[in-house]
Structure formats: structure tokens, C-alpha cells
Structure 1
Amino acid sequence: MATDTKSIYEVLPDVLSNIAIDKNIQRSIEEYLVENHKMVRGSFIEIVATPEKVNNLEDQELLVIVNAIHKVTEDDTVSPKIYYTTKDIRTIKDYEFENQSMDVSFPYTISPVIKVTNEDYLTVLSYKEIAALSNQGLLTYNFETQRLAKKTVNKRSGKINRKKDIKNASVNAIMKLMKAGKYDPSTLLFNVLVDGKSRITFDDGELTIHEGSTFNIIDGAHREEAIVRIIEENPDFEGYMNIDLKHYPIEKAQRLLATTNTVNRFDKTLVKFYGGDEYGQEITRYLMNLPVLQDRIEIKTALSKGISITNFAIVSDAIQTIFNPQDTKDKYDVQDVLKRFFEYFIASYQDEFIKNRTETLKTSWLVHHNMFVGFIAIAKKLYDKYGKDFPVDQITNIVNNIDFNRETSGLTEIMGGQGKTNSNKVKVQIREFIEAQVDKLLK
């Protein structure tokens, strides 16, 4: 199979030694193998710990692992193309490891279950069951109903990737208590998503989740991860968790998350994103799905470097304050206006906002995350003067004639107060400054 099998066996020990130093890389590679090839959790970690086990792998298993290492690390010394033929590489796309863990699949029946309402149920699951549901991909992590995601940009494709934001310190602390027998059962929050494809049935204390269902963990991802790792280490470890199982649509699941308070406290901006029902928040969620803004408006307060350009709270609060939509007609009007505005605006300043934001930020206030207050103020001024079909070339005409230079702009005095002055006051001052500039330009 391999075109140079000896070479890959020579290269791998050093590669695995480097991987052994970085637990996050280990977990990322294992996650890739679990998700794409159904490898049993713990198997790759075991190979890293005892590299000689590579010699016991079948050729195809080795290729799958080499490919996973290359995909995650982008280390070209283990590029499969060096050691394997194109035909061989194609064959691993659908390869799955033989899974020796507890066998679970849909339809999956849980018993006993207490039915509270048609969408609310209570039960108990053992650690083994929870680990099996997670390991075999039945219980999944839905980024639309979870706290936050870690975002990375693929250096080659520019694609933005998301992965679970798991804090290892929290997981390790939970595991330590579990091993010591000091972790009392708590409640995990699961949801069978109402999406037109998922289906549950309940009969005489038994709840069945049917084929094609989306089964998500809403709250308790750190405890779930601790359980998975515990079972990796000791498949016979005993324990159980209370399960609050919901059958909610996405919006209701998000609201539920926003009101759930656990050890790892929610980011305030995230609570607004999931729990807010103001028109400004609904409009911002709509804008986030526009291609020019997708993954660019952060749902947590801090921005993801090199990816996001502002956050949900800044945009939604500005829309609510500046446009002040009162009903659904206003909401749709504002959506149309801001869609038109941002599709033209972001496309006009791709270099500043997307390609070179970090460098631009050193010299210009244009790309500062709080400046979106000013951009929304510009959109409102254009709407007031021209209506929904405002001339889009006025956007760049206005922006190009406002001084955003950090050394000469009137904004510098305002922005210099950040950290010393209440942030809401700074945003009000940004709005007032930009509105005054636009009024002069639109005379």
C-alpha cells in the first residue's frame, strides 16, 4: 500500500514525540479520528504514549492516522502524498475503525423515563451510556445551542473552523473528584432538536429517539468530556448522571441555554445572543447569516483574533438604539437597509477589515470593533435621507471623507477614554461624532 512504508515508520516516532508535548493537539487529532473514522476515544492517545504500537497497525489504519495528523497539524513531513498513492488515500475517506466500545445506535431507547410534558423528560444515565452516546456520535455538540466555539483559520484555504471550547482545567478538576468518589450526580441538559427530522416516542416509561434525530448536549459539556475520559481510562468505572431531556426547537433551546447557570459562567454577550428578544437582536442574528458577515460578528465579548471584527452586543445594541424598531414592519425595513449597507460596505473595505485588520488597527479607528456603532449611524442617516434604496456609493463617499487616522482624528480623544470611561458612554460619543460628520457631508 505505502510507496515508502519504511520512511513513514522512521518519521512517525519523532512526530508522535512532538505531539506528546501538546495535549490540545493530541485531543484535536483524536477528535478528528473519532468524528471521521469512528476511532474509539483513547486509542490515539495510547499510540502517542506508546509509539511502538504503530508497528501493530494495519496498513490502512496507519494511513488513516497519518492523514489525521497531517490534517490537524499541517506538518508536511507526514503528508500522506509522500508515502502513499493517490488511490490509497482515496480509499480511507469512509474508513471506520472496528469499535469495541459499548454499541449504541438510533433508534435508542432510554428507560425508565419520567414524562413531565410532551417536550420535557427526566431520566438517569450511567457514565458508560453517556460515554458511548458521545463516542459513537449520537450525542453531539451543536454550536448553535452551546456557549462558545474556538475558531481557527486554515492557513491554506482561509476557511474558518469551529471546535468545542473545552477548558481542560475544568475537566481535570471534575475527573479528580469523580475518581475520588466525591462528585455527586448532577444534571446534564440534553435536547432532541425539533427540526422536522428528529422524532421521539414515549410509551410506558420508555423514551425512544429515532433514526435521523439530532441529539445535542445543551449544558454539561465539561462533565460529559470528563466522563468520556474517565471511561477511556477505566471502561468499568461506575457512575451516573441525572438527565433533563428536552425536545425543543433551536430558538427555545438557545433561550434555555441563556438562563442556565453553571460553573463556567456565561459570557454576557452570549446571553444576549441566545436569550435576547429585542428587534435589534433579531436583526443582528439575521445579519450574521449574510456571507460578508458570517463568522465575523462574535457572539462572545472578546473577539477571535484574525476572524471576528465586532461582537453581537455592540451591533444589536446600536441597532436597537439608533433605528429603534417598534414592530415587525420596522424590523424587516431595518434588515433590508443594513443588508444593503453592509454587503456594499464590507466588500468595499475587504483589505482593511478582513485581510489586514490587525495592521490597519495600529493606525486607524476604522476597524475598531466599537466603530460599528458609527457605521450603523451612517446607515440610519442614509435611510432617513434617501429611504431603503439609498445610493450605495454614498457609503464609501462618507467613510472616505471621515478622518479615522489615530494621530489626527477627533475620534482619538473619544477612543482614548476606553477603560477609563464607561463603554456605553464611549459608544454614545462615537455615534454623536459620526452623525455630526455625516450631517456635514450630506448637506
Structure 2
Amino acid sequence: MKNKEQLQETLVATIENIKVDKKRVARIKSGLRKYKILPGTVQLILNEPEEQLKQIDDKFLCLLTEQVYIASGNLELNPENYFSSREIKEVKSTFEGEVPEKVDFPYTFKPAIQIAPDMFITKIKASEIKLFMDNKLLQYNFETQREARIKVDKNDPTNIIQEVKINKKHIKHIKESIVKGEALPSTLTFNARLGTGDEGFELVYDEDTMELTIQKGTLLDCLDGFHRVTAIVKALEENPNVDMTFMLTVVNFDIPKAREYFAQMNTIEPIGKGHLENIKKERQADFIVDQLKYNSELKGRISPSENIPYTSSLLVSLKILSDAIDEVYGIEDRVEAIKTVNYLKEFFNRLFYAFPDEFLGDVAAIREKSLINANVMFYGYVLLSKRMKDENISLDKLPEIIKKIDFSRDNEQWQEYKVLDKNKNVATRAKQGVYKFFKELNLL
């Protein structure tokens, strides 16, 4: 082949541009599957193209170039620019892809000790963990674990993509320690999610033989240790002969109990405060937000992450909405919480219907010049809803009240209230300024 560095640079740039396009990614994976290249291997390259392209051989590079060329239409990636016809023919006829070992549930661990009716302790090898990952038996559950990293599909701004929020440096450090044989055994926690087994149960324990068997159909979530699991996979891909044993806790929890367990044991890798509070589900405000997420026009517009991408159609972070409701309403019992859900549902629905372009249309375009749909402004909307309720002001008046407010970023009032900084960006402590503005707002 020729011009390998140029090819790698072009591939990296092209992959970065198309990797959020699900159809193109599926096309690449499908094209490489006939050469027995696993989708997981392809995804790893798409996630970290610059690093991974340095590690694959020329034959693999040739096949990958062809499929990215087909999927992207980038003429610079025509394989014939870098490989001769003979080389291409040779690669296609002789390439030997991955043939992963197959494994499925039921799967038995031995020895295992029962700690509680729904909790067991056993051990697992790194090679077994990779087998589970290769065969898609072990997964990440956003409902019980770390907050997601939110990304916007470049080709479809309304499509919000959730990705696992990971610390790459942490993973690299763990991977290197495993490869060098320096890693110390630690405890992982897998949850055989309650209610998912084909036979109506997920785990079978034989006390006499000390065998714990995960049953067919069970959804197995990595409840704690996903960074280590990711590092293990990377380490074994780099050196398949590396292996070590980990302690493993296997639990059989439903989602609420898994959330509680995860919140209690979160002491190593910091979790976003807002996401952790949501997992704990200790406040009535969190219950209210959960209801609004599914039963109002806020559905699909609440971000689990504290930071909202500037170009996304998401409107408010879970933390800001929950904190605002907790601070403004201060609800402590479920009956009052249910009443508040109904009121806020009506409030936000009316707000959005009265200003559809601002809240339901091209949100990102409006956001460039106006604060009306800014994340921080929802502190104010929650306070406004409480004032209208306490002052017996009909929600019919809501559009009229909102129309009085100049939400333009050019409005100097926002800097006076310290909502915006001198560069017209939302200030770090804008919350108090928003509260102050809506407290002083004349509703008559």
C-alpha cells in the first residue's frame, strides 16, 4: 500500500463526521461482518478512530477503508488510491476475521456463597468478562447507573444520543495495569435484573454444590465496575494471554432497588450530583419530575445530564427542574406531590402551546438570541407557577405574563440581575438572578 498516514488522517476525519449517523454505521458494520469482523470491534474503532487505526494491520485497514468509502461517499477514500487491485483482491480472498467463542445463559459460577436471598458472592476471570461482552450478555443500564453523555446527531438535531460517561484516562490506567500484570483484584457487581428470566426467575443457587446459575433470557447489568470491564476488554484485545480473577457480587434487584444500591456504594468514581440525587429518589420533587417526564410536553426534553448541548432540542436538565421544584414548592408528602404534578403539567403545557416556536420548534435557533428556553430560566418558570397558584392567578394569563418579558440576550436587564455575564453568556451563578427577577415580576 501507499500513503498510509494520509489514509489514516482521512479515515479519522471521515469517521468523526459520520459516526453519529446510525444508518451509515450500520452499513459499515454490515459490510465488515462478511469478513467476520465483529460489530463491537468496529464500534471501538468508530469511538476512538485516531487511536485504534494505529493498531490494525494493513489488511484490516483495506477492508475498513472500502466500507467507510461506501458509507460516506468520500472519494478521497477510494481504496484504489492506496491499494493496488491485486492487493485488494488478495485481502478479500484471504482475510481471516475474528471467530469469538460463543457463550450464552444459562451460565454457572462456582464456588458461590449466598449472602442474602437476592445477593451472592463468587469470582470471575477477565477472559469470562470479555466473553460476556463479546456475546452481548453484559450491558450498561442508564436507569440505574452513571448519567449519560448527551450528544446531538449532526444529521438530525432532534435525535439525542446517550453514551456512557466514562473517564478515558482512568480506563487507560486500568488497562495498562492489567496488561503489565500489576492490577490488583477488586469487586465487580452484576445485577441479574429481576423479572427478565425466561422461566420467571433469573438465578438458581445450589447450596450443596455452591453453584450459582444465571438463567436463560436474563438481562445482566454491570451495576458497578463498568470502567474496569471496559479496561478488561481493551487489555485482552491488546494481549489475549493476559488474564486475572476478580471478585464478583451478583444481585437480583429490580430497578428501584438497584438504584438505591448503586447510590449507596458510589464512593470511587464521582457521579454527577443531579443524576445521583435522581437515582436516590429521596425527594418528592424527583417523583414530580419523573411524572412530568412521561405525562407532559416536557417528555423527551429533560436532560439526565447537567449540561445541555447548545444545539440540542432538550430544554432543561433533570437537576435544575428537580431543584427548582424542591426549593420553590418544598413538598414533603406524596398526596401534595400528585396535586403539584397535575398543576405543573398544565402550566408547562400551556407555556409550550402558547410559544410553540420557542419550546417545541427549532429550540437551538431561538436559543442563540433569546433566553426564553434557556436551561436556567426554568428556575424562574417554576417560581412563576408557584406565584400564580398562591396569588390565584388563572393560567389563562400565562401567555400575557410571558409576553411582557424581554428575553433577548441584548436586554441589559439580564446583566443587571447577573443572569448573563459581560459576554452575554449565562453566568455561573445565574440561578439567584433568575429567582430575583421572577420574584419582582409584576403579574398584574
- For residues 409 and 39 of structure 2, what CA distance do their matches in structure 1 show? 54
Cα distance between partner residues in 1 of 2:400 and 2:372: 14
| Aligned-pair CA distance for 1:380 | 2.1
Aligned to 1:303: 308
Native 8 Å contact 1:258 1:270 kept in 2 = no
Is 2:48 the counterpart of 1:49? no
Q: Secondary structure at the match of 1:242?
A: strand
In structure 2, relative to structure 1, the CA distance for the partners of 1:49 and 1:233 (3 Å cut) is same
**2:369 touches 2:408 (CA, 8 Å); kept in 1?**
yes
Q: 1: CA distance between counterparts of 2:165 and 2:14?
A: 16
Q: Give unpaired runs (5+ residues) of structure 2.
A: 46-51, 76-95
C-alpha separation in 2, matches of 1:399 and 1:285: 26
Does the C-alpha gap of structure 1 residues 54 and 24 become closer, same or farther in structure 2, counting only changes over 3 Å? Answer: closer
Q: Which residue of 2 is the match for residue 329 of structure 1?
A: 335
Counterpart residue number, 1:401: 404
Match of 1:7 in 2: none
Residues 6-54 of structure 1: CA deviation (Å, up to 9, x unaligned): xxxx9x9987663357998999869x949x9792754785888234347
Decide whether the 8 Å contact of 1:20 with 1:26 is kept in 2. no
SS in 1 for 2:381: helix
Q: Which residue number in structure 2 is paired with residue 135 of structure 1?
A: 134
Residue identity (%): 24
Residues 80-109 of structure 1: CA deviation (Å, up to 9, x unaligned): xxxxxxxxxxxxxxxxx9972232101222
Amino acid paired to 1:292: E
The answer for the alignment partner of 2:346 in structure 1 is: 340
Q: 2:190 maps to what in 1?
A: 190
- The separation in 2 between residues aligned to 1:382 and 1:178, in whole angstroms, is 60
Instruction: Note the 1:1-150 alignment, pairs <5 A.
Output: 18-20=10-12, 33=29, 39=38, 41-42=40-41, 49-53=56-60, 66=67, 70=71, 75-77=72-74, 100-150=99-149
8 A Cα contact 2:196 2:217, kept in partner: no
Partner of 1:234: 239
Q: How has the CA–CA distance of structure 1 residues 263 and 15 changed in structure 2, closer, same or farther, with 3 Å as cutoff? A: farther
Name the counterpart of 1:93: none
Question: Alpha carbons of 1:142 and 1:124: their partners in 2 closer, same or farther (altered >3 Å)?
Answer: same
Could you list the structure 1 runs, at least 4 aligned residues long, displaced by more than 6 angstroms after superposition: 12-16, 21-28
Counterpart of 1:189, as a letter, is T
C-alpha distance in 2, partners of 1:175/1:371?
43
Query: Which of 253, 259, 265 is matched with 2:258 structurally?
Result: 253
2:78 equivalent in structure 1? none
Aligned to 1:412: 415
Contact 1:357 1:367 in 2 (8 A): yes
Shift of the 145–18 alpha-carbon distance from structure 1 to 2, 3 Å rule, reads: farther
- Is the 8 Å Cα contact of residues 15 and 68 (structure 2) preserved in structure 1? no
Residue 268 of structure 1 aligns with which residue? 273
CA distance in 1, matches of 2:386, 2:145: 33
Aligned with 1:434 (options 411, 432, 438):
438
> What letter is aligned with 1:283?
I
The number of aligned residues is: 396
Q: Which runs of 5+ in 1 are unaligned?
A: 1-9, 79-96
2:170 matched to 1:167? no
Change (3 A) 1:256 1:304: farther
TM-superposed deviation, 1:363: 3.7
1:377 aligns with 2:383: yes
Could you tell me how far 1:171 is from its partner in structure 2? 1.5
CA contact (8 A) 1:298 1:304 kept: no
Verify the 8 A CA contact 1:188 1:244 in the aligned structure 2: yes
Whether the 8 Å contact between 2:191 and 2:222 is mirrored in structure 1 is yes
Classify 1:185/1:295 alpha carbon distance in 2 versus 1 (closer, same or farther; 3 Å).
farther
Partners of 1:338 and 1:409 in 2: CA distance: 30
Instruction: Work out the CA distance in 2 between the residues paired with 1:117 and 1:384.
Output: 49
Aligned-residue Cα RMSD (Å) equals 3.9
Letter matched to residue 140 of structure 1:
Q
Distance in 1 separating the partners of 2:308 and 2:300? 11
Question: For the structure 1 residues 152 and 407, does the alpha-carbon distance in structure 2 shift closer, same or farther, using more than 3 Å as the test?
Answer: closer
Amino acid at match of 1:401: K
TM-score, normalised with respect to structure 1:
0.76
Q: 1:91 maps to what in 2?
A: none
Mapped contact 1:124–1:242 kept (Cα < 8 A): yes
Higher mean alpha-carbon deviation, 365-374 vs 331-340, is at 365-374
Mapped to 1, the partners of 2:279 and 2:7 lie a distance apart of 41
Verify: 1:152 aligned to 2:130, yes or no. no
Distance 1:23 1:190, change over 3 A: farther
The change in CA–CA distance for 1:267 and 1:327 in structure 2 (over 3 A counts) is same
In 2, are the aligned partners of 1:40 and 1:100 still within 8 Å (CA)? no
Native 8 Å contact 2:152 2:161 kept in 1: yes
| Cα distance change of structure 1 residues 407 and 13 upon mapping to structure 2, 3 Å threshold | closer
Shift of 1:316: 1.1
* Partner SS, residue 280 of structure 1: helix
Please give the alpha-carbon distance, in whole angstroms, between the structure 1 residues aligned to 2:285 and 2:360: 24
What is the alpha-carbon distance in structure 1 between the residues aligned to residue 218 and residue 238 of structure 2? 30
- Cα deviation, residue 289, structure 1: 3.0
Q: Displacement, 1:295?
A: 4.5
1:18 partner amino acid: T
Aligned with 1:143: secondary structure?
Answer: coil
